[in-house]
């Protein structure tokens, strides 16, 4: 007996087509080579729909359409451009429920997260940058900002609609035209967004959405008529793109992996911190570039924190993404599940002490229990490498200097969290930690007004806030 708010989200009146086409020059178009691939529901392994695969010819068409549209779009007043962007924001809000269900079906994340986080934040992002469109002279006083031209945007599968919003909104507000590629396992909400963009009446060719895998992405990167690439994804592909664009005039921003440190001091509010640890690593199955995947607990409270954390992990529900009670949904793809399982084996073989609560998984689909590793040290691979799953490596520390050194001992530099009663300690650590984002007594908090981005192997460039406009303009 479900109450309405607990009932699994129904898919009855969610419209999903059997086949999706490319969105080029304001039209839904068949791919030149007529190739399609399947998008799979990761919670049951079943096909949801066929998705067009864009070849380099299709990408070329999309870039040409974007080039043709550029002059007119850039010449509009900021207020005019802003109107279209506001319209897109409102249409996302109107269809929020549909977006949330599709996001969870296609990507595996719990409906509570897509409904309360991904979709509202995506709408917010469009609202926020729509507001900047007619205020660029205040963003860059006396500098006469101009758009770059045609921008190629390649996004990952962990926050499909939200990453599309992070990329599209500032590019459009500043007067660029776009060719965007979603990740191959999660194309559906980007294609739904294409429908909304079409409905917004935005001039044709301003936004083009091409679906496909790495080859399609590489065609965008290597197209000579693209002025900038914005990429979010793995560090490996990021490095490939950096090499491929070196020596060209293409501008580049890279948002890559991470290995975030979550630091719990003995004076922290312990129960709140335990909730923070859970949110930092198990949110979105741990498919989060800024996840708090390394936990550092001050020695005097380590036993208490770990005991409480284990008890809390026993209560987490792993299962159907459409069930409103689910805490941890399906792992996004079979390939990603293999990666995570492989890291768990590595952790055990390197001598880590594993803890996993007993979980009952659905029969089909890709599932992984929330996982803790104790007895690990800086040299362990599971402490150094991004796993991108619900796996937490726990270490202890005695002094503040020791934890700063340990937290910074990583090739990445994206995020960190600090839990303490003392504000001064938080401010001290924000100065000392080499991370683009440092949260105080919270974790994984995002807002359209705040810049986000990394150092070192986590990439460069910022998204969000005023800083997020800069990568899309040049000054004359």
- Rank residues 158 and 223 by Cβ distance to ligand TXE and give the closer one: 158
Shortest Å distance, C-beta 238 to ligand TXE: 7
Q: Does 232 bind ligand TXE (CB under 6 A)?
A: yes
CA distance 265 to 73: 52
Total binding residues for ligand TXE by CB under 6 A? 25
- Is residue 191 a contact residue for ligand TXE (CB under 6 A)? no
* Min dist. Cβ of residue 157 to ligand TXE (A): 6
179 binds ligand TXE (CB under 6 A): no
386 binds ligand TXE (CB under 6 A): yes
What is the enclosing helix (H) or strand (E) of 245? helix 235-245
Residue 184 interacts with ligand TXE (CB under 6 A)? yes
Closer CB to ligand TXE, 117 or 256, in the complex: 256
Report the residue from 24, 54, 154, 394 that binds ligand TXE according to the rule CB under 6 A.
154
By CB under 6 A, which span of 10-18, 100-108, 227-235, 342-350 interacts with ligand TXE?
227-235
* Collapsed DSSP state (helix, strand, coil) of residue 42: coil
Residue 19 DSSP SS3: strand
Give the residue with the Cβ less far from ligand TXE, 129 or 452. 452
Distances (CA, A) of 357 to 176, 341, 353, 413, 460: 49, 16, 13, 30, 38
Could you give phi then psi for residue 339, rounded to 5 degrees?
A: -55, -45
| 54 near ligand TXE, judged by CB under 6 A | no
Of 42-50, 187-195, 211-219, 355-363, which segment contacts ligand TXE by CB under 6 A?
A: 211-219
**3 CB contacts (<8 Å, ≥6 apart)?**
none
Applying CB under 6 A, does 384 fall inside the site for ligand TXE? no
- The nearer residue to ligand TXE, 181 or 192, going by C-beta atoms, is 181
Instruction: Decide if 255 is catalytic.
Output: yes
Asked if residue 202 binds ligand TXE (CB under 6 A), the reply is no
398 C-beta neighbours (distance < 10 Å), count: 10
DSSP β-bridge partners for residue 24:
27
Q: Is 256 in the site for ligand TXE (CB under 6 A)?
A: yes
The reply on whether position 472 binds ligand TXE by CB under 6 A is: no
Q: What is the 3-state secondary structure (H, E, C) of 307-354?
A: HHHHHHHHCCCECCCCCCCCCECCCCCHHHHHHHHHHHHHHHHCCCEE
How many whole angstroms separate alpha carbon 228 and alpha carbon 418?
35
Residues 242/107, Cβ–Cβ less than 8 Å: no
Identify residues 282-341 at the interface with ligand TXE (CB under 6 A).
289, 336, 339
- Quote the distance between the C-alpha of residue 155 and its chain's center: 8
Residue 200 or 415 having the CB closest to ligand TXE: 415
Candidate segments 143-151, 197-205, 229-237, 391-399, binder of ligand TXE by CB under 6 A: 229-237
Q: Is residue 160 within the footprint of ligand TXE (CB under 6 A)?
A: no
Q: Are 341 and 306 a contacting pair, CB within 8 Å?
A: no
For residue 207, the number of C-alpha atoms closer than 13 Å in the C-beta half-sphere is 27
Query: Active site residue: 113, 289, 386, 457, which one?
Result: 289
Q: Pick the closer one to ligand TXE by CB: 197 or 210.
A: 210
Q: Which value, to the nearest 10 degrees, does the dihedral of the CA atoms of residues 135, 136, 142, 143 take?
A: 180
Least CB distance to ligand TXE at residue 387 (A)? 7
**Piece of 52-60, 110-118, 230-238, 346-354 that binds ligand TXE (CB under 6 A):** 230-238
Per-position DSSP letters for 131-158, written without gaps between them: HHTT-HHHHSTTS-EEE-SEEEEE--SS
Minimum distance from CB of 332 to ligand TXE (Å)? Answer: 8
Q: Write down the least CB distance from residue 125 to ligand TXE, Å.
A: 16
Q: C-alpha 322: how far from its chain's center?
A: 20
Which residue among 14, 76, 121, 213 contacts ligand TXE (CB under 6 A)?
A: 213
Rule CB under 6 A: say whether 147 interacts with ligand TXE: no
Q: Site for ligand TXE (CB under 6 A): which residue of 54, 117, 237, 301?
A: 237
List all residues 6 or more positions away from 36 whose beta carbon is below 8 Å from its beta carbon: 19, 50, 51, 52, 53
HSE-CB for 164 with a 13 A CA cutoff: 32
> Which residues, 6+ apart, have CB-to-CB distance to 12 below 8 Å?
none
Please pick, among 255, 386, 457, 463, the residue that the annotation labels catalytic.
Answer: 255
Q: Are 377 and 59 in contact (CB under 8 A)?
A: no
Query: Are 281 and 390 contacting, i.e. CB atoms less than 8 angstroms apart?
Result: yes
289 as an active site residue: the answer is yes
Binding site for ligand TXE (CB under 6 A): 154-156, 158, 181, 183-184, 213-214, 217-218, 221, 232-234, 237, 240-241, 256-257, 289, 336, 339, 386, 388
Which residues are marked as active site? Answer: 255, 289
């Amino acid at each position: 007996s479900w109450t309405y708010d607990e009932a699994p989200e129904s898919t009855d009146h969610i419209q999903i087509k059997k086949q999706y086409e490319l969105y080029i020059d304001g039209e839904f178009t068949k791919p030149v080579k007529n190739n399609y691939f399947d998008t799979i529901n990761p919670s049951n392994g079943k096909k949801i729909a066929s998705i067009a695969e864009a070849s380099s010819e299709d990408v070329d068409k999309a870039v040409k359409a974007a080039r043709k549209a550029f002059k007119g779009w850039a010449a509009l007043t900021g207020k005019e451009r802003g109107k279209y962007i506001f319209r897109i924001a409102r249409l996302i809000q109107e269809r929020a429920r549909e977006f949330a269900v599709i996001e969870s079906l296609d990507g595996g994340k719990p409906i509570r997260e897509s409904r309360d986080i991904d979709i509202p934040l995506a709408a917010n992002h469009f609202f926020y940058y729509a507001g900047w469109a007619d205020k660029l002279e205040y963003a860059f006083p006396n500098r006469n900002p101009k758009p770059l031209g045609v921008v190629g945007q390649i996004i990952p599968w962990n926050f499909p609609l939200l990453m599309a919003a992070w990329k599209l909104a500032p590019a459009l507000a500043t007067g660029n035209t776009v060719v965007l590629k979603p990740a191959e396992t999660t194309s559906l909400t980007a294609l739904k967004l294409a429908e909304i963009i079409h409905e917004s009446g935005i001039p044709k060719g301003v936004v083009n959405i091409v679906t496909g895998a790495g080859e399609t992405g590489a065609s965008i990167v290597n197209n000579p008529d693209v002025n900038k690439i914005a990429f979010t994804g793995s560090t490996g592909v990021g490095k490939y793109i950096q090499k491929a664009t070196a020596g060209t005039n293409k501008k580049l921003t890279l948002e890559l992996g991470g290995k975030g440190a979550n630091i719990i001091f003995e004076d922290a509010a312990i129960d709140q911190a335990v909730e923070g640890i859970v949110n930092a690593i198990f949110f979105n199955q741990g498919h989060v570039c800024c996840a708090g995947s390394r936990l550092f607990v001050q020695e005097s409270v380590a036993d208490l924190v770990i005991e409480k954390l284990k008890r809390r992990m026993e209560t987490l529900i792993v299962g159907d993404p459409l069930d409103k009670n689910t805490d941890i949904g399906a792992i996004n793809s079979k390939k990603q599940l293999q990666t995570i399982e492989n890291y768990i084996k590595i952790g055990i073989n390197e001598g880590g002490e594993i803890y996993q609560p007993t979980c009952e998984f659905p029969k089909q689909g890709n599932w992984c229990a929330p996982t803790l590793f104790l007895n690990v040290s800086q040299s362990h691979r599971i402490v150094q490498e991004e796993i991108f799953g619900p796996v937490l490596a726990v270490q202890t520390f005695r002094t503040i200097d020791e934890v700063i050194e340990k937290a910074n001992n990583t090739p990445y530099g994206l995020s960190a969290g600090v839990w303490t009663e003392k504000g001064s300690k938080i401010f001290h650590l924000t100065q000392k930690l080499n991370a683009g984002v440092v949260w105080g007594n919270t974790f994984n908090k995002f807002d359209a007004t705040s810049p986000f981005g990394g150092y070192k192997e986590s990439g460069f460039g910022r998204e969000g806030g005023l800083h997020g406009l800069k990568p899309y303009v040049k000054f004359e």
